[in-house]
Amino acid sequence: MTDTRHALIIANDRYADQGLKKLRAPAQDAAALERVLHDPQIGDFEVEVVHNASADVMRRRIQGFFNDRRRADTLLLHFSCHGLKSESGELYFAASDTEPPLLAATAVASQFVRGCMSATRAGRSVLFLDCCYGGAFSRGSASVRATGDVNVLESFAKDEPVSGRGWAVITASDSMEYSFEGNELAENSAARPSVFTHAVVEGLETGEADLDADGNVSLDDLYEYVYRHVREQNPHQTPKKSAELQGELHLAHSRRGRIKIVAIPSPPTLQAALNSDEVLTRQGAVLELRKRLRHTELPVAEGARRHLEEVARTDIQQIADLASEALSEIRLAPSPDRLDFGRVHRSADPQKRSVTLNGPPLARHCVAQPHQSWLRVDPTRSGLEIRVDTAAEGRLSGDVVLKGVADEAVIHVEAEVAPSQGPGHGVPAPRPSGGSPRQVSGPPDKRDTVVIEPPRVPPQPRKPPPAPAHRPQPQKPSRPPVHQEKADRPPPSRRAPALAGAALALAVTAVATLVLCLQRTVVALVERGDAGVTGNVEDNLREQGALTPLIVSLISGALAPAVGALARHELDARSERYTRRAVSGTHTLTAIAKGLAIPVLILGVLAGIAYLVGSGEW
């Protein structure tokens, strides 16, 4: 993420006033949220935490947080504390020294926070409120209103930002009251506020909040995830959201999202063939898409995959099955899909096992995500390499999940870590940072994600021209300048596209002459019927000239695939002399020509056989 991102977490769980009950969750929630937001692979925020501060310190830190910002900054402010409402119904955030009868002096008013958000020059500001909105204090208190609700979003939606591009507010609940008995908050009056922050942390850390699986957790994704999670935990609590944003705000990266590839659409001629009314033409287009699905350039292959998915959903059964069969080629196929490291000694050097990813490049391009903290994954040229951390003893069983563009696979891993034995064992391997050895602990979803990319080898000419003798050899291999690369590249050729066009012309000729043959045959058969017993169908066929177009159809139908094969051979032999557009057009034209010529050739042969066998009997 390119923008500067800052977060301020305010967590208050201890209060001097006896009427404000100690909260159990804010400290733990603040630590978890700080970890997730600061993680460069997830939130990539610069995070500050203010814990159990006084009202004066809170106001200073909040105003300082919003001051001196730039338009490229994204700010996130999180409150986890008691929320109180005044006699007039205004919302206040409780500080460690808050006195309920003196809210204006000892608490932080929502109006103050709203003013800081409105005045900041930051491009985007996000406010998370995980607060219990207490409204019923002791019966003898007249300083805080005892009934009625406070509308939280109305407290922040009145003023629009002056300089920034937008703001958003997400609350644990829009209106939630706690009841007090004397000076104590009732234990069962409402849900713990940690349900909300726990959902935020879990959605970001596991990546489950990436609902559209695009690799990023947007504000809308996170709200929808938190809303469902909180409602499942407590049906009486309903998170709310209000936002005025331009564009989509990405709060975090998702390490569980699928691979996303910007697709290059298939050529217009191929798309037109997919929309043809002729079944054979669409069939030929699907065969061409199948070839493009194996392309070494992933955007080209991804464009073919999307077209094939649409065909598999919408076309007739015959064509849909052909498309589905093509799509099956890009399923993730790790080999092996189960690894057993057997018995290994604790703190020994991690053992390695290689896993090969089969299939075309698009099938091998995936995300590998270990589900246990003791699993390590590294990419290799043929797939990936899995290692086991032996820092902890016991039986280990876990999975590495592979996620591709449209498929998932699981590699199951098992190992048994035994106590170290013999001299030299039991001493942990040195760690990069020194100090104590690293412990295999932490949440299971706190792990690295590895992107496995197939090796991309650019096409090389079979006989590269030798370098001139006077040209000095560079000390290190480097990419030649653009103008030199263009000069060394052989001039583009048009031979393959011309042959492909000729193949298509022959196929069209075969279709047209076969249709003409059939028309003349029908006329000849009618004349034979009118002649009665004295007629001869062979004479009628000769008279109508039906044999000549049949012969032409057979010849052109046989030549069309042959010329198409010659065009493809030309591409393979001199691939460096053709542009991407020429290669794509050649493949499309030859596929269509083949799809037209072969059925015509079959029909023509059958017609010829029928003539030879039956002409003497008519």
Listed residues 302, 330, 358: the one ending a domain: 330
- The per-residue pLDDT for range 510-531, each reduced to its tens digit, is 899 989 888 888 887 787 777 7
Q: How far is residue 451's CA from residue 453's CA, in Å, rounded to a whole number? A: 6
Q: Is residue 102 part of a domain?
A: yes
User: For residue 202, how far is the Cα from the chain centroid?
Assistant: 19
Of the two residues 95 and 384, the one the predictor is more confident about is: 95
Q: Is the same domain home to 306 and 367?
A: no
What number of residues does the chain have?
Answer: 618
Domain range enclosing 313? 268-330
Q: Is the same domain home to 144 and 210?
A: yes
pLDDT of residue 612: 75
Over 70: is that where the pLDDT of 462 sits?
Answer: no
CATH of the domain at 173: 3.40.50.1460
pLDDT of residue 555: 92
Q: Is the same domain home to 401 and 277?
A: no
pLDDT of residue 424: 46
Token pair listed for 174 = 């829009």
Q: Is the same domain home to 72 and 141?
A: yes
CB 26 within 8 A of CB 81: yes
Residue 68: partners with Cβ closer than 8 Å, 6 or more residues away? none
Q: Is the same domain home to 69 and 118?
A: yes
pLDDT, mean of residues 193-222: 82
pLDDT category, 48, cuts 50, 70, 90? very high
Q: Is the same domain home to 246 and 346?
A: no
Q: Is the same domain home to 289 and 410?
A: no
Over 50: is that where the pLDDT of 425 sits?
Answer: no
Q: Is the same domain home to 273 and 168?
A: no
- The per-residue pLDDT for range 596-608, each reduced to its tens digit, is 888 888 988 888 8
Q: Is residue 92 part of a domain?
A: yes
Q: Is residue 465 part of a domain?
A: no
pTM above 0.85? no
Q: How far is residue 111's CA from residue 109's CA, in Å, rounded to a whole number? A: 5
The sign of the torsion formed by the CA atoms of 92, 98, 100, 105 equals negative
Residue 467: partners with Cβ closer than 8 Å, 6 or more residues away? 473
Highest mean pLDDT, choosing among 232-241, 592-601, 605-614: 592-601
**Helices (H), ranges, 256-316:** 268-274, 279-293, 298-314
Q: Is the same domain home to 13 and 73?
A: yes
Reference 127, options 107, 88, 151, 155; nearest CA is 155
Q: Which H or E run includes 376?
A: strand 375-379
Q: Is residue 584 part of a domain?
A: yes
Q: Is residue 480 part of a domain?
A: no
Over 90: is that where the pLDDT of 55 sits?
Answer: yes
The total of other beta-carbon atoms located within 10 Å of residue 582's CB is: 18
Q: Is residue 364 part of a domain?
A: yes
Listed residues 187, 218, 251: the one ending a domain: 251
Of the two residues 27 and 349, the one the predictor is more confident about is: 27
Q: Is the same domain home to 242 and 305?
A: no
CATH of the domain at 357: 2.60.40.60
Q: Is residue 475 part of a domain?
A: no
Over 90: is that where the pLDDT of 62 sits?
Answer: yes
Listed residues 330, 360, 382: the one ending a domain: 330
Q: Is the same domain home to 391 and 513?
A: no
Q: Is residue 56 part of a domain?
A: yes
What is the domain count for the chain?
Answer: 4
Of the two residues 386 and 373, the one the predictor is more confident about is: 386
Q: Is the same domain home to 126 and 214?
A: yes
pLDDT, mean of residues 87-114: 90
